[in-house]
Every structure is written in structure tokens, then in C-alpha cells.
A and B are shown apart, each in its own frame.
Chain A
Amino acid sequence: MNKRRNRNGVTDGFNYKMKVWLSQHNQAFQDSLGQLQRNLAGNLFSIAVIGISLALPAGFYLLLDNAQKVMENWDGTIQIALYLHPEVSDERADTIKQELSGHALIEQVTLITKDQALQEYKQFSGFGDALDALEENPLPSMLLLQPRTEVITTEQGEALLEELGKLPEVETAQFDRQWVKRLIVILHILKRAVVILSTFLSVAVLLIIGNTIRLSITNKRHEIAINKLFGATNAFIQRPFLYSGLIYGIAGSALAWMLLILSTAIMKDPVNQLATLYNSEFRLSGLNAFELLILIVIGGGLGLFGSWIAVGRHIRDTEPT
């Protein structure tokens, strides 16, 4: 290989360029740290605002994530209960059961006959003796259907319910755990709300960072002009500001993370208590490593983008006189 050595004894070519590049970035990074230090109070304020803006959507995300885990851990699936007319015989009910078993949207069908229903009721209600006094069994037969999971929350579920309700033998058809189904739908709505909220707050973070950077550019007009006068390129002048934006974003993410840890710590005990009451294995969880990484990438990305927007225009416009 034919490598020359320059005055500093560094090999020319790729390595040398890499070294220059690294040292320029290192210097820009140091510069931006210096800037941060010089106006510490103001910068901490910005970072706090950014942190809270990021903590809000991240917190909602955590809440939904936990709620979803609760739903997933729900023992017992959502069922459709078909209450048949009292005059429908057990044999007829069994035929209906066979028919519905072949339905595309239904996974499983269980028949609870009048007698079974009465037995169960006697056992659990404590009214056993009182019921013995009745001449006739007042309870109807019932079919418990387990629809496919993907059907439950969609229009298909409603259509299925309506279809079943129209069967002549059926008195009423209803989702067994109506509120669980409602909760799932509400979760869907909230998820969208979180997306919207995140978008708004991201724009807010962009504006905050952009404005902070714009201010520090304005404060350094004189210095920028002199740098340009002696041959600094726009890229050279922009670099420390871009690093500042990146640092704001990442510091904001870190703060948001700490706020989340604090919030989960506060919520943990009562939530776990509640779960125990319901015999649930559920435990409140915070962000995992991957989610934390995403939070930092989003924060850093917003910081970089926000400062990039501010820097492009304002530094180009600052010329020596």
C-alpha cells in the first residue's frame, strides 16, 4: 500500500479523514455541552417541559398496555348466551346446538338444559328448598356459544348476535360479559386517542426544541458571524446546535422515563392488591428495555429534527457585516 504520512504523523486517506471527522464531531459535542452548562437553569426548564410532554403519551401507552394484559389474562372467554323460550324441549335445544356447532364464526357450543340450570341455581343460590316447592322448573334452557376471538369486537359480533336473536326458539341473545366487550372497544378508542395525543405532544416537543435552539442561535449571532467571517461552513456552525437538540431530546426521554418509574411505583401496591382480590396473577409493569429504547429514539429524533428545522434557516440568515 502506498500511504503518505502528513505533518502530524497521521496516515493519509480514510483513517485520517475519519480522525478529522471524529474530532470535529467531538468538538461540536463538547461545544454544545458547554452551551448547556452556561445556561443551565433555562435548559433544565426546557428539558423538564420536554420530559413531561413525552411522559404523558408514554404513560398512557403504559396504562393501555397494562389494561391489555389484564384483558389477555382474563380467565374465561367472552361468550354469547342464548336463552331459549321455556317451551323449547331439551331435544330441540340439542338439535340447535348441533346446527350452531357448524357455524363459521362459532368455535364451541355448550348446552345447559333446564334441569342443569336448576341444579346449578339450587347449589349456588341457597334457595334450594324454596325452589323444591315449585311445581314446574321456571328456568329456560340455555346455549353458551364461544365466538371466534376476532369476531368479538367487530361489527361481525353484532351481526352474529342479531342473527342468533332472530332464531324462533331464542328468547334473548346477549354477550355474556358485555362489559368486557365494552372495555375492549373502549381500549381501542383510547389507543387512537393516545396516537392523537402523541402526535400533538410530539409537535409541541418539536416547537419547544426548535424555539430553544432558535433563541440560543439569536444569543450567539455575534459569534456565528465571526465564525463565518473566518471561513466556518454552515455545517460546522450547525453541528453544535444539532447536538444540543439531540441532547435535549434524549435528556427529556430520560426524564420521562424517571417520571414513569415514579408513577408505576406509586400505583404498584394498590393495583397489585386489587389483582390479588380478583385472584389474578396480574402485576403492574413499567417500560421494558425495548420500549425504553424506542422512547429514547423518539425523544432524540424529535430533538434532532426540531433543531434541524430551526438551525437551517436561522444560521443561513446570520451573515457577517
Chain B
Amino acid sequence: MIQFTEVYKAYPSGKEALRRINLFIEQGAMVFITGRSGAGKTTMLRLIGLIERHSRGQIIVNSQNLERVTGNRIALFRRSIGFMFQDHRLLNDRTVFDNVALPMVVAGHSYQETRKRVHAALDKVGLLAQEKSFPLALSGGEQQRVGIARAVVHRPAILLADEPTGNLDPALSWESMKLFEQFNQIGVTVVIASHDLEMIRKLKKSIVTLKSGKLLTAGGEAEE
């Protein structure tokens, strides 16, 4: 569950990236955030994942008021979230296995448990055979799937994906979306920032449209 109440975000430069956002995303929903470049999509995901702090208003994520999540509680909070980025952000000097294992390792899970979950996640994205490869030896689409496996291996309550299909051809994009849908079906709240209106329309999910930091529509169809 994600709730924005009268949320503003101004960056230190003074730039107001989000203005007066009111939004409610139910637990288990799958939501797309769209809008032109610079509209504030990434900023919104950053606020939910506590990568940035909002300037005014209130954000509640999984019944936690984010203002009160400080110090070591930030780390614990982030363990309930899975992140995905357009540029993948994999560790190139670690194997696929180690990359996917990272969220399990930082949370202190046992090796047996970690291995079991990593293998399940890699199996899901079809990369089990490449577990010993290094990211740079994989194609862009494969790297992205490693990113997906890493984002879900620790069974987060919320999956945040920023332009997950930005670099992929339509077929691969569609495959990734189907994967997200599967995670959503087992109860993960999925929030995806994307330009890809055509694909979003096909998926028939809730859409949040931003324009210059303001909310245009919530829950309806995508509009230009």
C-alpha cells in the first residue's frame, strides 16, 4: 500500500519536481506512471524507495510513515522493496548468481536459503544456465532479466521499476511485462515508470499520468 497526501518535492537546486500529489495505490495493485520526460516519474519512485526525501506532505508505504523511517530503519524498510533500473546497475565484477543473491545476503539469510531463492528467481527469468557468467558477457535483455531476478529474489512487498523496457525491443519488453504481471499475481505491488504508452494500453492496468510534476489522472486510461 502506497499513499501520497499533498506531497511536494523540491530538489536542492530549487527545482520543484512534484507538486501537490495525492495518490493511493492498493496493496497488490499494478500501476504505471507515465508522462513526458522531466514530468517527475523517477522522482516519484525515488520518494517511495527513500532514495530521496519529500519536501512536504505525507507518504505512507506499507503502513509506515516515511518521515519516521530514519537511520538503520531505512535499511530494514528497503528490504521490503525491489528496485529495477533502466541501466540495470549490476555489479560487473560479480557473477550473475552473486548479483541476484545481493538482496538476500545483505539481509543476512543463510547460504542454503539464498541459493534456493536465487535459483528459483533465475529459473523464472530463464537464466539459470548463466548463473556463473559475468554481466558483461550477457546481452542487454539478459542483463535486464538479471535485474528483474535481483529485484524479486527477496520477495519484496513492492516492486519499483524505472523505464524497465527502455532499451529492449518490443518482443522482449512484452516478455518483461508478462513477468511483472506474474509477480503482481502473487501479491507484489508493482509500480512501473514508463513512456511506452502503446504497451501500457495493451496491458489494461491502472495509469497515473504526471505533467510537469502535477498529477493529471489517476486510475484511468493513458492520455497524451
Name A residues whose Cβ lies closer than 8 Å to a Cβ of B.
Answer: 7-8, 20, 23-24, 27, 38, 222-223, 226-236, 319-321
Contact = CB atoms under 8 A, between A and B. Distances in A.
B72 A234 contact: yes
Given A229-B78, A233-B72, A24 B91 contact: no
Given A231-B76, A231-B79, A231-B103, A7 B113 contact: yes
Nearest to A236: B106
A231 B110 contact: no
Contact of B51 (A233, A235, A321): A321
B107 interface: yes
Interface of B: 49, 51, 72, 75-79, 83, 89, 91, 93, 102-103, 105-108, 110-113, 150, 154
A157 B72 CA distance: 64
Given A24-B108, A222-B91, A236-B106, A230 B113 contact: no
Given A8-B112, A23-B110, A232 B75 contact: yes
A231 B106 contact: yes
A241 B10 CA distance: 35
A89 to B, nearest CB: 91
Most chain B beta-carbon contacts within 10 A, residue among A223, A231, A321: A231
The 5 closest A-B pairs by CB, nearest first: A231-B79, A232-B106, A230-B103, A231-B78, A233-B75
A229 B49 CA distance: 8
A233 B108 CA distance: 11
B113 to A, nearest CB: 7
A8 B72 CA distance: 26
15 contacts: A8-B112, A8-B113, A20-B108, A20-B110, A38-B93, A222-B89, A222-B91, A223-B91, A226-B102, A229-B78, A230-B78, A230-B154, A232-B75, A233-B106, A236-B75
